Amino acid sequence: MLLAGDVGGTKTLLALFEQHPVRPSLPNIRSFPTTSFDNLSDIVQTFLGAEGLTPDRVEAACFGVAGPVLDGSAELTNVGWGVRASEIGTRFNIRHVQLLNDLEAMAWSVAVLTPTELEVLQVGEKAPYGTAAIIAAGTGLGTAILHRAGGTFVPVASEGGHVDFAPRTPREMDLLSAMLTTHRRVQLEDLVSGPGLIDLHRFTHTARCPALPNGYDPAEAPAAISMAALEQRCESCMEALDLFISIYGSAAGNLALTAAAIGGVYVGGGIAPKILPALQNGRFMKAFRDKFPMEALLARVTVQVILNPHAGLLGAAVHINGLGMAR
């Protein structure tokens, strides 16, 4: 069997599957709180125990991890530990262990997603030969580029979530100034993420918010802020979410220009499906296209939200499944 994993800053998903010529099935996905463990190997051990399996049943494994991957190793950006492919291979006697950046892993899922797993924000004119791109906000913000080679997508990892935040309006300039009082530099991830939405909430509020009776609990606050905004219960929450959407859309447009993504832009991550009505109200796409003199080009780009909550895990499975089929 093959093992796939999606290791995020908040949770880690693991699943076993058998090889399949197109799209592997992930019948039993288990979720683990990432920071409750000291390393990925311990999570794998717990997973195998829960499945009642011994490591010799696993032929190969692939893990998407939230951080840059260098020579089979990664330090997770928002977690206090690292991952080594060689250590996992040695501990469990798995012959083939691969690490991918989490967005690179998610990008591998794009080619096998069905129309029901995608929500179109802009129809565009998707070019079947063109490069595509993916951007995803969750605990952090990630990006990846999907080059076309041999008629298929080949994902390329990046760390685009850590580029500088570039304000475009007087209000966003005020936001940058406020953020610089507490941050050495302001990255896109500092705003377009769950923790970023909390900082946007702090910026837009001058008094205690009734939507957050328990204060800024990082596990609950982003969802509470989003819900208060979507239900129009708090004008300052609505402004926080509007800023989030505009900055997110602008970042997606910048990525589309960087990648010349005429093959489409995909919006992934855990946040997008939960705030879909806000993504559909036009603010995201207005910021996406507002790139003089490139508005006409960006109006041609197909933009879709990935609805499958396990796209990162699926992508890791697709990647290692393909390698397994090739052996």
Name the DSSP class of 246.
H
Measured on CA atoms in the order 166, 119, 270, 64, is the torsion positive or negative?
negative
| Comparison of pLDDT for 217 and 169, the residue scoring more | 169
What helix, strand, coil percent values describe the chain, rounded to 5?
40, 20, 35
pLDDT value at 325 more than 60: no
pLDDT value at 327 more than 80: no
Dmax over Cα atoms in the chain, in whole Å?
61
CA angle 194, 213, 187 (to 5 degrees): 20
Q: Would you kindly state where each structural domain of the chain is located, as residue ranges?
A: 2-108+310-326, 114-307
Give the C-alpha separation, 322 to 98, whole Å.
Answer: 12
Closest by CA position to 108, among listed 234, 232, 255, 266: 266
Q: Which CATH class is domain 114-307?
A: alpha beta
Give the C-alpha separation, 267 to 304, whole Å.
Answer: 6
Name the DSSP class of 309.
T
The set of residues, in sequence order, having a beta carbon less than 8 Å from that of 28 and lying 6+ positions away, is 15, 16, 51
Is-contact 254 158, C-beta < 8 A? no
CATH label, 2-108+310-326, candidates 3.30.420.40, 1.10.2020.10, 3.30.70.20, 3.30.1330.120: 3.30.420.40
Q: Using 50, 70 and 90 to split pLDDT, how confident is the model at 265?
A: very high
Q: Using 50, 70 and 90 to split pLDDT, how confident is the model at 324?
A: very low
Write the pLDDT tens digit of every residue in 43-87. 999 999 999 888 778 889 999 998 899 999 998 877 888 999 999
Beta pairing partners, 247: none
Please determine whether the domains at 2-108+310-326 and 114-307 fall in the same fold group of CATH.
Answer: no
3-state SS of 174-227 is HHHHHHCCCCCCCEHHHCCCHHHHHHHHHHHCCCCCCCCCCCCCCCCHHHHHHH
- pLDDT of 323 reads 60
pTM over 0.75: yes
Closest by CA position to 98, among listed 74, 130, 123: 74
Is-contact 187 165, C-beta < 8 A? yes
Beta pairing partners, 305: 119, 267
Write the pLDDT tens digit of every residue in 103-146. 999 999 999 999 999 999 999 997 888 999 999 999 899 999 99
Alpha helices, H only, 52-204: 85-92, 102-107, 170-179, 194-204
Closest by CA position to 267, among listed 282, 253, 281: 253
Give the C-alpha separation, 225 to 209, whole Å.
Answer: 9
